[in-house]
Amino acid sequence: MIYIHVPFCKSRCYYCDFFSSVRADLTESYVDALCAEAESRRDEMERACADTVYLGGGTPSQLTGVQLRRIFDALPEVPEGAEVTIEVNPDDVTDELVSGLQGTPVNRVSMGVQSLDDDVLVKINRRHRSADAVRAVNMLREAGYVNLSLDLMYGLPGQTMEKWQRDVDGVLALDVPHLSAYSLQWEEGTVLTRMRDRGEVQEADEETSLAMYRYLVDSTRKCGMEHYEISNFCKPGMYSRHNSGYWREEPYVGLGPGAHSYDGHRVRRSNNTCLEDYCAGRVMYAEEHLTDDELYDEMIMKRLRTSAGICVDEVPAEHVEYMLKMAERHIRSGRMVLEDGRLRLSSEGIFVSNDIMSDLML
């Protein structure tokens, strides 16, 4: 698994605290530095295998076709049948981008729609409008990109239950094979959090957020989608192989400023987030060696998110008893299920997943 972090955005969305910059003048030196980092970490990438490649950001669709091709040329050969995803913003989907993608192995496109309500999009400073998202889906399909994933957000300022229902229904009507939906997080230091602190926007109450999530879960089920991870839904078999690899704690190599890597055992690496340093070829990073207890907690946090849950046999012997003891009352209340040697959240448990996970963690 290979992850490429593309840290550029044309403008900043008010809720976002991801690492990205609006300095478009640095894209060319970023691509040079990324190719150099790929060269220096070739052995690591070959060990991690390029069976899935994910270009995330930031906004990878801010790069040109030539820049995207240069990045893929610097990676080990992408094997036949690999899943190669790029994140795009709807208004970046132009003839130019689509023909640029056609010169790359990209075969899956993930688009940040967030809402189909223009007033809500304005409030969070997204640069596209609802019509752009619909147009982009149709354009990508016509170009042969059918493996599409759309992102939605709920609990946004000004997003009433009726607006959310129109968002979910509208996105499901587009009939894409994969949908992700995240509740708005009020991160420290974002424009939106400052607006909330000044009383200019209000947080959705917990009850409304939960009702929105329930509507999403029910609607996707009625459409025949599998709820395979807390925030992810897909038509049968169309799950994200890349993200599923993260949840199974498979090794991955992350290239680019701010990207993370994991050796599949206990070493996690985080590249420094200074874009200027990175573009000047100074790739600095920190390494973290996870303890047994931290590995157990990671396993709870990642695997319990998925419908596959945790295989009890894979839990280190010293933690099994504790995990099952803590899970006991949730199993009794019907919020967890222990079946065929696997422990997972039930369809009711998903709504209180954070509480259950923190109970099971050390």
Residues in the site for ligand SF4, rule: CB under 6 A?
9, 12-13, 16, 18, 20, 57-59, 89, 112
Q: How far is the CB of 57 from ligand SF4 (least distance, A)?
A: 5
What's the burial of 90, exposed, middle or buried (CB within 10 Å: 0-12/13-18/19+)?
buried
Distances (CA, A) of 349 to 148, 185, 211: 28, 21, 15
Distance from C-alpha of 229 to C-alpha of 276, rounded to nearest angstrom: 36
CB nearer to ligand SF4: give 89 or 306.
Answer: 89
Q: How far is the CB of 189 from ligand SF4 (least distance, A)?
A: 13
Angle between helices 206-222 and 161-173 (to 10 degrees): 20
Q: How far is the CB of 114 from ligand SF4 (least distance, A)?
A: 8
CB nearer to ligand SF4: give 13 or 55.
Answer: 13
CB nearer to ligand SF4: give 6 or 50.
Answer: 6
Distance from C-alpha of 91 to C-alpha of 128, rounded to nearest angstrom: 5
Q: Which 8-state DSSP code applies to residue 75? A: S
Q: How far is the CB of 200 from ligand SF4 (least distance, A)?
A: 19
- For the chain, what's the residue count? 362
Q: How far is the CB of 40 from ligand SF4 (least distance, A)?
A: 26
Distance from C-alpha of 277 to C-alpha of 29, rounded to nearest angstrom: 11
CB nearer to ligand SF4: give 16 or 121.
Answer: 16
Tell me the three state secondary structure of residue 271.
strand
Tell me the three state secondary structure of residue 167.
helix
CB nearer to ligand SF4: give 114 or 306.
Answer: 114
